[in-house]
Amino acid sequence: MRQDDEVHVSAASQALERSLRRALRNHKRARRKLKTDPVHDFRVALRRCRSLAEGFSAIDPDPVWRRLRKASKRTQSGLSHLRDVQVLEAWLKPLRLTGGPAGRALASHFEKQERRARREARSSLESFPRKQWKRWSRRLPARAELIPVNERRLAQLVLGQLTRVVDLDERWTKQPNADTWHELRVAVKRLRYMVESFLPKKSEEWSTELERAQDLLGEGHDLDGLHDLLVKLSRKKSLPKTSVSRSLRRVDGAARKRRKEYVSLVSEPPRQNGRGASADDTPGASPQLLWDRWRTELAGMASISRPSGEESSRSAPRRALRVRARARRYPNRPRRISSAP
């Protein structure tokens, strides 16, 4: 194996070691105090372990990666209810939803749900396999170092995840719905972790846009959940329509802002880097989406010819224009972010 290939494998094994150790450290913090930050940090560490395990399982047949992925998912799922309550409750003050009948109904709902969610979370934390995790933290990074893989194969691995992001982005643009928005959010999150772990040089170039896209998709998902909860409580408790409408306007306004920012982020032309204009800067050329540009770069690294290349080169600019056009339609209409084009 060439030296440059070994550097890439080392980056992934180091990321795995950091994630496994962070999971152990933050498990102890979360078990001691079920506050927002410890729970969030623990879930992030688990999510990174899960994403890395999925990546390694694609290049190494050892069943240990499947066991790590399942253990991460199981513990992460046990904390999801508490995390959802904590995240949604954190939106009340910024959106000024703490007063009035709707605000009181939300506060009462979160108080009841948090008690139940804490019981579930404590049970999940108690069943976390710390001894097994410690063994994994000692052995798995060393095993990852020995996997015979090169940069081309790693690029193919990340390209597969990026292709899923492209497909989901296009599906949401054509037919917006909450499920697709959620899938896109998860796919972008996994893409970010895979790029950071397997292609660190690309991570340096893409990190700003990836983090921003993940934040916007995550906040949009939160606001979707808050919208649905308000509608549910208004029907269950027969809340005054004026109070509910005022609250929904604030939630929908914040949702529209995230939607517009996401569309703008993935539609903006590439930044100048001092090395000359890119193909997208050619006079008269239509812009490509951010995801399409990155897919072209990875396809080159992976030495893969994209299927139906001529058709893809024409469809990507058209898709970028369609995304922008949909974002401009009915800009002031209140709606859920996931169901808004």
In angstroms, the Cα distances linking 130 to 2, 26, 75, 141 are 36, 12, 11, 17
Tokens 């308000």 sit on residue: 230
What pLDDT sits at residue 148? 82
Q: How far apart are CA 45 and CA 111, in angstroms?
A: 27
Amino acid letter, residue 166 = V
Confidence class for position 304, pLDDT limits 50, 70, 90? low
Largest Cα–Cα distance in the chain?
Answer: 69
Confidence class for position 316, pLDDT limits 50, 70, 90? low
User: What is the Cβ-side half-sphere exposure of residue 286, based on CA atoms within 13 angstroms?
Assistant: 15
Confidence class for position 178, pLDDT limits 50, 70, 90? confident
Please check the confidence at residue 307 and state whether its pLDDT lies above 60: no
Can you tell me the mean pLDDT for 323-333? Answer: 48
Q: What is the pLDDT of residues 222-268, one digit of tens each?
A: 999 999 999 999 999 999 999 999 999 999 999 989 989 999 999 98
Please check the confidence at residue 337 and state whether its pLDDT lies above 50: no
pTM, entire model: 0.81
DSSP 136: H
Cβ contacts of 22 within 8 Å, gap of 6 or more: 41, 44, 45, 48
What pLDDT sits at residue 146? 87
Better-scored residue on pLDDT, 57 or 329: 57
Q: Which of 7-11, 119-123, 295-299 has the lowest mean pLDDT?
A: 7-11
H helix runs in 127-277, sequence order: 130-145, 151-174, 178-198, 200-236, 241-267
- Two tokens, residue 268: 């903006």
Can you tell me the mean pLDDT for 191-202? Answer: 93
Q: What is the pLDDT of residues 69-84, one digit of tens each?
A: 999 999 999 999 999 9
Confidence class for position 290, pLDDT limits 50, 70, 90? very high
The alpha carbon dihedral of 68, 219, 165, 295 has a sign of negative
- The answer to whether the beta carbons of residues 173 and 322 sit under 8 Å apart is yes
Phi, psi of 269 (to 5 degrees): -70, 160
- The answer to whether the beta carbons of residues 154 and 70 sit under 8 Å apart is no
Better-scored residue on pLDDT, 19 or 320: 19
Q: What is the pLDDT of residues 92-124, one digit of tens each?
A: 999 999 999 999 999 999 999 999 999 999 999
Better-scored residue on pLDDT, 271 or 302: 302
Mean pLDDT for all residues in the chain: 85
